[in-house]
Chains A and B, each alone.
Chain A
Amino acid sequence: MISNHTPDGPVRTAVRPGGAGPDTPAGAGKPGAWLRSLNVGVLREVALLPVLVLLIVVGTVVSPAFLTVSNFAGIGQQSSALGVVVVGESLILLIGGMDLSLESTFGLAPMVAAWLIVPVSAYGNGANLSPYLGIVVLLAVGAVVGLVNGLLIVKGRLNGFIVTLGMTIVLAGLQNGIVKAQSLFNLPEPFSYLGAASISQVPVSLIVAVVIFVLVGLFLRYHRAGRAIYAVGGNPAAARAAGIKVERIKIGAYVAGSVLAAVGGLMESGRVSAVTGQQGYQEGIIFSVFAAAVIGGVSLKGGRGNMIGAASGVILLGIVQDILDLAQVSNYWIEAIDGTVILFALFLARIVGGESTAEER
């Protein structure tokens, strides 16, 4: 405890005798204060728990099929692709940026890979690449897109919103352009394994997504680059003054975000065993990505948020989607209800996790 450290040097004694200096907050360092700060932290992280519990109750009432292992495995499989993209977007949001083009990378990266893998007869380009090399290509596409975004925004000092909006459309155009708007089916087993396979009812994609969430969460908490992400997002000028390589951290976040979007795209392609022209941009997944991140408490202003929050945002959206499916809500209405629930969840998350800091006042 900094404040309660009793001074022993002559220098200190003259200024702040004992621990009871003039501006020592009463009770600082006592268990009470510690408990209180812990409480606030924990409360914020599980802010969505009551909402999730409520949704599970609603789901159970709506359909007897809701509370079953297979249903939850389904939710997990459907949400994992989105979840991985949310991790990527969260990294970018944390450094104080934003990337709309993740949804296009989500479609383009698997499209390029599949295009190089499948035979010409299935609209491939004839390279007949091994599926494993295809996955490497997929990751590379993500990295290149992220690098271009990062360089344009950080080095080129362009507005992130406009750059990634433009990039979104370019990438979506490429996605359709290279295969003349065809969908690619008959993906080889290694390529679709991640999205399609299950290990005794547990989807592989879910396991991988959970591992990614945990690893990135630990990275953000305990790795110096992770901490630098928070510093850069919280106050880039202060981070720079402290000798942090702000530009490198920012570009790194864009690259990592896009690579994760590509991995998410791979999961999605495996799940539907095809890469369609719609995947990503035309499905408009970026709305869900932002919604999940923000519901989970990742600040759009940067520097704030964590993986526990982001994960609960993803789970919440997944359960809402599932309940709407089970309740056999008419397709015409599903989007309106989906959107309303998301707005409501945002509102609720704001109240429960209500945050305010001195600088934002």
Chain B
Amino acid sequence: MAGVEKRFGTTRALRGVDLSLRSGQCLGLVGRNGAGKSTLVSILSGLAEPDAGTVRFDGQPAPRVGDIEGWREWIATVFQHSMIVPDLSVAENVFLGNTPRLLSWPRMRRRTREVMREWGLAIAPQTPCRDLSVEQRQVVEIVRALARGARCVILDEPTAALERQAAQRLFERVRQLTDSGVAVLYISHHLEEVFEICQDVVVLRDGEVVATAPTASLSRDDLVAVMVGDVEQTTAAHAPPPAPAGSGPAAGAPARDDSAPRGEVLLAVDGLASDAARGRLSGVSLRVHAGEVVGVTGLLSAGVATLGRAIAGAEGYAAGQVRLHGRPVPPGRRDVAQRAGIGYVPEDRRAEGFVAHLGVAENATMAITGQLSDRFGVLRPGRRTAAAAPVTSRLSLVSSGPGQPAGELSGGNQQKVTVARTLVHRPALIVAITPTRGVDVASKELLLGSLADAAASGRAGVLLCSDELSDLEICDRVIVLVRGEVFTEFSRPPFDRDELIVATEGLTGTTISAVYGSTEHNGAEEAAE
């Protein structure tokens, strides 16, 4: 593609982007939130039309926009959000939108099996997709792309919902694809991944390509510096996840005296048990003191998110008790928990984070309408805007104004709206579940910094995450959950990343090789043929 431009109203999302992708190449595409990655993907997938510029495949002009069939023969995209129809079988999903008028089931299944085998994948074609793991669904999407003969695949944040081992298997598959001549455009916020599997990397900033280089010629710090721009180099130098987040000026974390005595017990959780589908809990107890941020981590299935939701009152639980300031908080009553002083940053911002067509300011102040309105309940929009402004500007949330619908913002800014909504009501305790998912490096610092700020001002935070272990740097201690139980606790920073990984696997040893050798999680390979 050459000189591609795209405008949305007054926003120029892309300004003359040139990009080329060779067969057999794995090209990384990185950039901060709002840099134009998503726009580029939708243009390359044939979903949106560029205002200027052309896209060519093998020298031929691309099919016209809307001719999805035509595009799919060239290029296929595996999106962040699954495009699988859960009620259909694997074979049907593979041939979705590509079925002949009269279809032969045996042929469809055979063809699916063939493509799977050809690429060294194995999922039974008649399995209903609802029974598949996130990883397997991704495999189905990749196979769908390959079945149409597409020799160019875009992977948009493919590891966002994968556990580490599954991500490793995905990398294997990507290498396999590129070895056989498929071109892969790999989009990710995880720069380690880009370094691991991409030969070259393109950096988008502000809708422009600011760098194209072989990954081997760059260091991680270089890449971050290019992504965020020169002015921010000082910040970026301190930013790489393994480094302590608190050391960068952008973290906003005031120096805390580790030797200071802990405050009173703010949150007491006793014997929490839950049968939630997203991860069971059996008898989890923990204490959070005023002035500290406690990290909780574990595998996706370990009940990390369940614990966060239960504490925040977002879902009920079978047994146990949650007390704030010594007073019990009823289970499953989000409204009561909030008034008691528990703020909640949900895991899934699309589902629980904001109301898409309401304005930024209205979303940010949704939890404090009671304080903003007069005694008759009348709420003046001006007060809403005024209340939202300090927090949204502190998070450097980018919008065209307080009235812009939150649904129109980029993913990272939507996350900031979600976080702002919690910060605005200044809760005594912030429960944040994977608050930095899909957020660029600089914004990540801001979001985590705001959590650390809360703790520094005598409040407290619980940070729950399963994959972004580097986020835990801001925590005073980290609790590791394994299969719904507290496995171990790291009581003092810095937390060693490898030790954390080993602990989440339920191992006490320190050898990492043991982790990658374990096969307790069923992957695509294990599914029955």
- Interface of A with B (CB < 8 Å)? 1-3, 5, 7, 9-12, 14-17, 21-30, 32-34, 36-37, 222-225, 227-228, 230-231, 234-235, 237-245, 303-304, 357-359
**What is the chain B residue whose CB lies nearest that of A223?**
B377
Known: A22-B205, A235-B356, A239-B366. A11 touches B10 (CB 8 A): no
With A234-B357, A245-B335, A303-B355 already in contact, 13 other A-B pairs whose C-beta atoms are closer than 8 Å: A2-B393, A10-B249, A12-B396, A14-B235, A15-B445, A37-B401, A227-B362, A231-B366, A238-B363, A241-B314, A241-B346, A242-B421, A243-B334
> Does B98 interact with chain A (Cβ within 8 Å)?
no
Q: How far is the CA of A7 from the CA of B390 in the complex (A)?
A: 10
Q: Does the CB pair B32–A23 fall under 8 Å? A: yes
CB distance from B311 to the nearest CB of A (A): 13
- Residues on the B chain within 8 Å of A3, using CB: 397-401
A11-B449, A240-B314 in contact; A24/B355 too (CB < 8 A)? no
B332 → chain A, closest Cβ, in Å?
A: 10
Q: Which residue of chain A is the closest to B364 with respect to CB atoms?
A: A2
For the complex, give the distance between the alpha carbons of A37 and B344 in Å.
31
CA distance A37 to B402 in the complex (A): 11
Q: How far is the CA of A30 from the CA of B9 in the complex (A)?
A: 13
CB-based contact B249/A14 at 8 Å: yes
Of all chain B residues, the one with the shortest Cβ separation from A9 is B394
23 contacting pairs across A/B (C-beta < 8 A): A3-B401, A5-B389, A7-B396, A14-B248, A22-B34, A23-B34, A25-B8, A28-B399, A32-B10, A36-B10, A223-B379, A225-B377, A231-B355, A235-B352, A235-B354, A237-B352, A242-B338, A243-B338, A303-B357, A357-B356, A358-B356, A358-B408, A359-B357
Output the residue of B35, B346, B369, B442 with the most chain A CB within 10 A: B369
Cβ of B370 under 8 Å from chain A: yes
Identify which of residues 212-252 in chain B touch chain A, using a CB-to-CB cut-off of 8 Å.
Answer: 228-229, 231-232, 234-235, 248-250, 252
Is B446 in contact with chain A by the CB < 8 A criterion?
yes
- The residue from B10, B358, B442 contacting A231, defined by CB atoms under 8 A apart: B358
Q: Determine whether the beta carbon of B400 is less than 8 Å from that of A14.
A: no
Q: What A residues does B339 contact at CB under 8 A?
A: 243
CB atoms of B353 and A359 under 8 A apart = no
Is B358 within 8 A of A234, CB to CB?
Answer: yes
| CB of B392 within 8 Å of the partner chain | yes
Pick from A5, A15, A24: contact of B446, CB below 8 A: A15
Q: Which residues of B contact A (CB under 8 A)?
A: 8-12, 32-35, 205-206, 228-229, 231-232, 234-235, 248-250, 252, 312, 314, 334-335, 337-339, 344, 346, 350-358, 360-363, 366-367, 369-370, 372-373, 376-381, 388-389, 392-394, 396-405, 407-408, 410, 413, 421, 425, 442, 445-446, 449
A356 to chain B, nearest CB (A): 10
How far, in angstroms, from A187 to B249 measured CA to CA in the complex? 78
CB pair A37 B421 closer than 8 Å: no
Which residues from B are CB-within-8-Å of A11?
A: 249-250, 252, 394, 446, 449
Closest to B313 in A: A243
A22 and B400 contact, CB distance less than 8 A? no
Contact B32 A22 (CB under 8 A): yes
> Are B367 and A243 in contact, CB atoms less than 8 angstroms apart?
yes
Interchain CA distance A235-B350 in the complex, whole Å: 9
Distance of A98 Cα from B164 Cα, bound (Å): 45
Query: Which chain B positions have C-beta within 8 A of A24?
Result: 398
Contact A14 B366 (CB under 8 A): no
Question: Do B400 and A5 touch across chains, with their CB atoms under 8 A apart?
Answer: no
Within the assembled complex, what's the spacing in Å between the Cα atoms of A26 and B13?
A: 9
Closest to A1 in B: B401
Q: Is the CB of A223 within 8 A of B373?
A: yes
Chain B residues with CB under 8 Å of A37's CB are 400-401, 403-404
Min C-beta distance of B190 to chain A, whole Å: 19
State whether B378 touches A23 (Cβ < 8 A): no
Q: Which of B12, B355, B398, B446 contacts A239 (CB 8 A)?
A: B355
| Docked pose: A36 CA to B7 CA in angstroms | 15
For A237, list chain B residues within 8 Å (CB): 351-352
A12: chain B residues within 8 A (beta carbon): 393-394, 396
Which residue in chain B gives the minimum CB-CB distance to A358? Answer: B407
Asked whether, in the complex, the Cβ of A241 is within 8 Å of the Cβ of B401, the reply is: no
Contact residue among B9, B344, B380 (Cβ-Cβ distance under 8 Å from A241): B344
Q: Are the CB atoms of B235 and A15 closer together than 8 Å?
A: yes
Q: Are B396 and A16 in contact (CB under 8 A)?
A: yes
Residues of B within 8 A of A34 (CB): 401
Residues of A within 8 A of B32 (CB): 22-23
Indicate if the CB atoms of A14 and B356 lie closer than 8 Å.
Answer: no
